[in-house]
Amino acid sequence: MTFTGLYGAPPAVVADAPGRVNLIGEHTDYNGGFVLPTVIPQRTIVELTPRQDGRFRVWSENIEGPGRQAEFVLGSEAPTKTWIDYVQGVVVALRQRGFALGGADMRIASAVPIGSGLSSSAALEVSVARALRSAFGLHLDDVEVATAGKWAENEFVGAPTGIMDQMVSSLGAPGFALFLDTRSLRAERVPIPPSVELVIVDSGVRHRLVAGEYATRRRQCEEAARLLGVRELRDVPVLGLPRVEALPEPFRRRARHVVTENDRVLQAVAALRANDPAQAGELFYASHASMRDDYEVSVPQVDALVEIASAERDVFGARLTGGGFGGSVVVLAKHGSGRAVAGRIAERYRRECAAAPTVLVPAM
Ligand code: GLA
């Protein structure tokens, strides 16, 4: 159904925001560390007409059945454990920052795959915040859009994520990786060199334990930082690894992942700047091994995908992207080879793992 079909007139504003794929720097953002994500072409679109009576009526193209329509009232937002909580959460975040909102009619349509580790939730939060910003003329910069989205996710939805996804959805640009220091929120765009192409292969595997395991990892990192006497694991340089090695398990391996991963991000930024895809690819593989063995957030099907990708001649590197426990693999391939490589990887994976992959080849 179109916006006019739903509400009787065309929308006053249209806003959108992209999903993301993280190149490297996984599970570092809630440790104050470095990340290097980029945007994908798939976006979430929000059409909106402001109201002044405090009502929010929201319709989603991505949900089937009666659950696609939801309503809430300004000042009476309450979590429902459904998709509308992302919208309510952003509204509450903006209200708490002192912005006056009057209500809205909204229509949401997203092309960002849901549950693939490509941040459909951040794309939703950022696109809603952008639509409200333009409808109500809010003085909100792009970093504030991202932090409002993170607040919605952490405090309203209740997912204890870091800031990476909202920051890249809000500040990222196609063809560039966003080198972000998640402590200072200093962000720098690093061009993705023309020698490479990114390929994303979704394993099709979804783990029900994601939320609980994510929160557990986060707590283990906090405990590791406490044992090491630092504010966050970000404060441990690679030179501090001998002290990490002395920690009891599982803190030793969890902290080792975060400390080495932060260093890999810095090395990957240098490799991209030097147009050295072979070096960047090696860092991808090392990151994957660290997530699999030290951080224990991979699953056998995702490991198989990385293995299959690594046998391809035109592949420099591959790794699990996003939070883990299923989801997608990001492959660094030789420019011009992306489609062919993606097809062969998906075909072998389908055959050997009896699973249903989905392939995305974002044009750079
Ligand atoms: C999820 C979270 C991010 C980040 C990644 C892991 O995508 O939303 O904040 O922690 O997992 O790198």
pLDDT tens sequence across 219-256:
999 999 999 999 999 999 999 999 999 999 999 999 99
Q: Which residues contact 184 (CB under 8 A, 6 or more apart)?
A: none
Cα-based torsion angle of the residue sequence 318, 322, 324, 330 in order, rounded to the nearest 10 degrees: -20
Q: Is the pLDDT of residue 364 over 60?
A: no
108 three-class SS: strand
Residue 175 — left, alpha, or beta (φ > 0 → left; ψ -120 to 50 → alpha)?
A: left
Residue whose CA is at the smallest distance from ligand 1 atom 2: 161
- DSSP single-letter state for residue 67: G
Q: What is the pTM of this model?
A: 0.97
Measured in Å, residue 5 CA sits from the centre of ligand 1 at 37
Q: Is the pLDDT of residue 85 over 90?
A: yes
- The share of the chain scoring above pLDDT 70, in percent, equals 99
- Angle in degrees, CA 214, 180, 126, rounded to 5: 70
Q: 17-31, 110-124, 141-155: which has the minimum mean pLDDT?
A: 110-124
The residue-averaged pLDDT of 300-317 equals 98
Contact status, residue 126 vs residue 146, Cβ threshold 8 Å: yes
Grade residue 143 by pLDDT with cuts at 50, 70 and 90.
very high
The residue-averaged pLDDT of 131-136 equals 98
From first CA to last CA, the distance across the chain in angstroms is: 32
Q: Is 241 exposed, middle or buried (0-12, 13-18, 19+ CB in 10 A)?
A: middle
Measured in Å, residue 219 CA sits from the centre of ligand 1 at 14
The amino acid sitting at 101 is L
CA 36/CA 75 separation, integer angstroms: 37
What is the residue extent of each domain of the chain? 3-189, 194-360
Contact status, residue 228 vs residue 255, Cβ threshold 8 Å: yes
Measured in Å, residue 176 CA sits from the centre of ligand 1 at 19
CA 149/CA 88 separation, integer angstroms: 11
76 three-class SS: coil
- Run of H or E residues at 189: strand 186-191
Instruction: Find the residues whose C-beta lies inside 6 A of ligand 1.
Output: 26-27, 29-30, 161-162, 164-165, 322-323
List the one residue out of 39, 18, 38, 41 whose CA is nearest residue 269: 38
Grade residue 363 by pLDDT with cuts at 50, 70 and 90.
low
List the one residue out of 198, 160, 153 whose CA is nearest residue 27: 160
Return the ligand 1 atom nearest residue 27 CA: 12
The fold of the 3-189 domain, in CATH, is Ribosomal Protein S5; domain 2 (3.30.230)
Return the ligand 1 atom nearest residue 323 CA: 11
Mean pLDDT over each residue of the chain, to the nearest integer: 96
- The share of the chain scoring above pLDDT 90, in percent, equals 95
Please give the pLDDT value at position 138.
Answer: 98
Please name the CATH architecture into which domain 194-360 falls: 2-Layer Sandwich (3.30)
- DSSP single-letter state for residue 29: G
Return the ligand 1 atom nearest residue 163 CA: 9
Report the 10 Å Cβ neighbour count for 166: 30
CA 77/CA 140 separation, integer angstroms: 22
